[in-house]
Amino acid sequence: MEFDAPLMCAPALEDAIDSSPLTLPPDTLLIDAISLMSYTRGQSCKLDENLNPIKIENGRSESRSSCVLVMQDSALVGIFTERDIVRFAATGMSFDDVKISQVMIKPVITLNQTYLQDVFAALFLFRRYRIRHLPIVDEQEKLIGVISPESIRQVLRPANLLKLRRVADVMSKEVISSSPMTSVLELAKLMANSKVSCVVITQQDSIGRANPVGIVTERDIVQFQSLGLELAKIQAQDVMSTPLFLLNPEDSLWKAHQQMQRRHVRRLVVSLNWGWGLGIVTQTSLLKIFDPVEMYAIIDTLQKTVEQLEAQKWQSSIKKQM
């Protein structure tokens, strides 16, 4: 067992706040919003007076905006996320002439910065409201930034907590899969109806196993919409991410975290029972270790382990003196 990091080292939440999220006015066309969400950015992307993107670098690894905060006269009036894009795309309706105000989610669940003392407040709201983006506001309800499971994972530091937990402890076995010939429109419908963020593409082998060969995610749907592609005419096999890196249920969560960081992904597929089953680990899954009950149990185990090691060291020292 390794103890090369502090036992209790929770994320510094100030570092997890995206202080310059993508913000747009209510009358922005949906197709323009999706296009802006598709831009690779340092941390943020705002619009100038002519609705041209302004990139703001602040040292964090490049990413794309997974949500839009809709602002009117400095007030937060709505939010629109990748999941909402998938939900809308699954209807097959045209995005032309649709304004973001017509499809945004409102009112917005927010958290006052005063109550952002630790990770538990953010995780509680994520779970209670089943959201993945939490705007942070000040005492005057002015927007400070936004926190997401992705931004928290990027500042994760509790290596020992992650090393002590297995992938099997937090993975989901409720995996939605489909064949390589499935249209992207059908994949969007699967995501929307099942309320999942991805579909694993599988291909049956000679002995009947459904081998995972690729994956299509919400972020992919956003990209396809920004390119104006006809989702009904594109097959999964033409656009899926492949080959897949597969985790083992016995792998540590630390390994899962490292692979997500290295591969710039938000979810990993798990191969179960020698390939006869599938699981999914997401960045949200990793944050389950910050549940207070879970943390106290882990810390208790660590403390007992340290006490045992200290006792063994003391006994060894006594023997040497005899």
pLDDT at 255 over 90: yes
What number of other Cβ atoms are within 10 A of residue 242's Cβ?
Answer: 13
Q: Is 153 helix (H, G, I), strand (E, B) or coil?
A: helix
The pLDDT assigned to 144 comes to 95
- CATH fold, domain 163-288, is CBS-domain (3.10.580)
Q: pLDDT tens across 104-121, in order?
A: 999 999 999 988 877 777
The pLDDT assigned to 1 comes to 38
Per-residue pLDDT band at 6 (split at 50, 70, 90):
very low
- 184-194 and 218-226 are packed helices; what angle lies between their axes, rounded to 10 degrees? 130
pLDDT at 163 over 90: no
Domain chopping of the chain, boundaries? 13-149, 163-288, 291-321
How many whole angstroms separate alpha carbon 7 and alpha carbon 30?
Answer: 46
Helices (H), 45-166: 82-89, 100-103, 119-129, 149-154, 159-163
Q: pLDDT tens across 207-253, in order?
A: 888 899 999 999 999 999 998 889 999 999 999 999 999 999 999 99
pLDDT at 52 over 50: no
For the domain covering 13-149, report its CATH number. Answer: 3.10.580.10
The pLDDT assigned to 248 comes to 94
pTM listed for this prediction: 0.76
Asked if the domains 13-149 and 163-288 are classified in one and the same CATH topology, the answer is yes
Residues whose CB is less than 8 angstroms from the CB of residue 119 and which lie 6 or more positions away in sequence, other chains included? 10, 11, 13, 152, 287, 290
pLDDT above 90 coverage of the chain, percent:
53
